[in-house]
Structure 1
Amino acid sequence: MKKRNVLIGMAATVLLSTTLVGCSNGSDKSSSSNNTRTVKTTKKQAKYYFKNNKLVMSDISITITKTKVIPVGEIGNEYGEKPVIAFWFTTTNKSNKEINPNTAWIAAFTAVQDNNKNQVNELDIGNLPDDRFLDTQSENIKKNGTAESAIAYDLDDTTTPVKLTATKGIGGSKLGTMTYKLK
C-alpha cells in the first residue's frame, strides 16, 4: 500500500513539476539579501520565496506547521529502519490546477543532511509519519482550498542538521533554504 502511494506520488510529482516549472516566463530577478525572488508576469508581480517555514509561489503556498525527529519504532516511524525527520504542513492551491499535498511538497522541496565531505547526501523520503493523512495525502485540493499532510525523510544520523531547500518545481530556480537542528 505504501509503495503504491509512493509510486502515485512520484507520477503526480512529474506532472506537477512540469506545471510548477511552467509558471515562470523566465525573467527572474533575484534579491540577494533574503532569498526572495520576484518574477515578472504579464498580469501582476508575484513573489516567490521560502522563509520562516513558509513557501509561496504563484499557484501554491506551503506552510510547515510542525517538525519532529522520530526514532525507529516510535509512533510515526513504526516500520522504519532509520530515524526520520517529519514535517507536518498545509498546502493551499491558488490555481485551477490539480494539486495535492504530496506532489506539491515533493516538487518543491529537497532535504539534505551534509554529513559527507565528498558527496551531497540528499535524504530519501520515508514512510508517512501520520496515519491521519493516509487517505488524503494524494487527494486534489480545490482552488483556494487548503489541506493538511505530513512527510518524513530517513536520517543518516541524529546530529547533523537537515537543510530543506525549496525550488520552483523540480530542477527550478532556488527560492530559499532553511536548516533544521535535530536536537
Structure 2
Amino acid sequence: MKTKSLALTGLTILLASTLVACSGGNESSSKSDTADKTVKVKKKASTYFKDNKLVTKDYDIDITQTKVIQVGETGNEYGEKPVLAFWFKVHNKKAKDLDPNGAWISIFKAIQDNNKDSVNELDVGSLPDDRFLDSQSEEIKVGGTVEMAVSYELDDTTTPVKLTAENIVTGKSLGSMTYKLN
C-alpha cells in the first residue's frame, strides 16, 4: 500500500511539473540553463497580392497582361483619356455568386500618385477588350476559370500606377504592385 502511495505521489509530482513546464510558468520563475529550443514557424499568408497574383480563400486572380491604350486605339476607341488595361483570369475556388468583373472591382483600386495634396484614385474606364462584353458579369462555377479585362483612366502617361488589393470587410491591405507606364 505504501509503495502504491509513493508511486502515486511521484506520478502526481511528475505531472504537475510537466504542466508547469508546458504552460511556460510565470515571469518570476527561474530560467533553466538550457537554451530555449522553441522554433517559430512563420505561417504563409493565405490571402495576398504579389507577383501579379491575388490569392484569397474563395478565389484567385492572375493578371496575365497590362497595356497602356491611347485615346482612339483599339480598346479605348470612345475614351477621352488614355487607359491602363489589365487582362486577368479569375479562378473560383468556392465562392457563391462570383463574376469576373465583381471579383476585380470589389478588391482592387488603382492610384496614380501625381498630386502632392491628395490621393488620386483612378476611375474605371470602359471595357478594353470586346471579347468580354457578354461574359463580364456571368457567374463563374466553383472550380471554373474565366478571363476578363478592366481599364483605368490615366491622368498622365508617365506617373506609375499602384494597384492595391484590399479586403473590403476589414480594410486590410493584401498587397500592392506598381506598374510603369512606359
Shorter-chain TM-score tier: 0.7 to 0.9
TM-score, structure 1 length as denominator? 0.74
4+ residue runs of structure 1 moved beyond 2 angstroms?
A: 169-172
After superposition, give the CA deviation of every residue in 1:71-100 in whole Å (9 maximum; x if it has no partner): 000000000000000000000111141100
Q: How does 1:98-137 map to 2 (within 5 A)?
A: 98-137=97-136
Alignment partner, residue 179 of structure 1: 178
Residue segments in structure 1 that go unaligned for 5+ positions in a row: 1-30, 39-46
Q: Is the Cα contact below 8 Å between 1:37 and 1:49 reproduced in 2?
A: no
After superposition, give the CA deviation of every residue in 1:47-89 in whole Å (9 maximum; x if it has no partner): 1110000000000100000000000000000000000000000
The structure with the larger Rg is: 2
Alignment partner, residue 79 of structure 2: 80
Q: How does 1:25-104 map to 2 (within 5 A)?
A: 38=45, 47-104=46-103
Structure number with greater CO (CA < 8 Å, separation at least 6) is 1
CA RMSD of aligned residues (A): 1.5
Identical aligned residues as a percent: 64
TM-score, structure 2 length as denominator? 0.75
- Measured in 1, the distance between the counterparts of 2:121 and 2:72 equals 23
Instruction: Count residues in correspondence.
Output: 141
Q: Is the Cα contact below 8 Å between 1:107 and 1:170 reproduced in 2?
A: no
- Measured in 1, the distance between the counterparts of 2:172 and 2:143 equals 25
- Measured in 2, the distance between the counterparts of 1:144 and 1:101 equals 14
- Measured in 2, the distance between the counterparts of 1:72 and 1:136 equals 24
Q: Is the Cα contact below 8 Å between 1:62 and 1:90 reproduced in 2?
A: yes
Return the structure number with greater strand share. 1
- Measured in 1, the distance between the counterparts of 2:133 and 2:169 equals 24
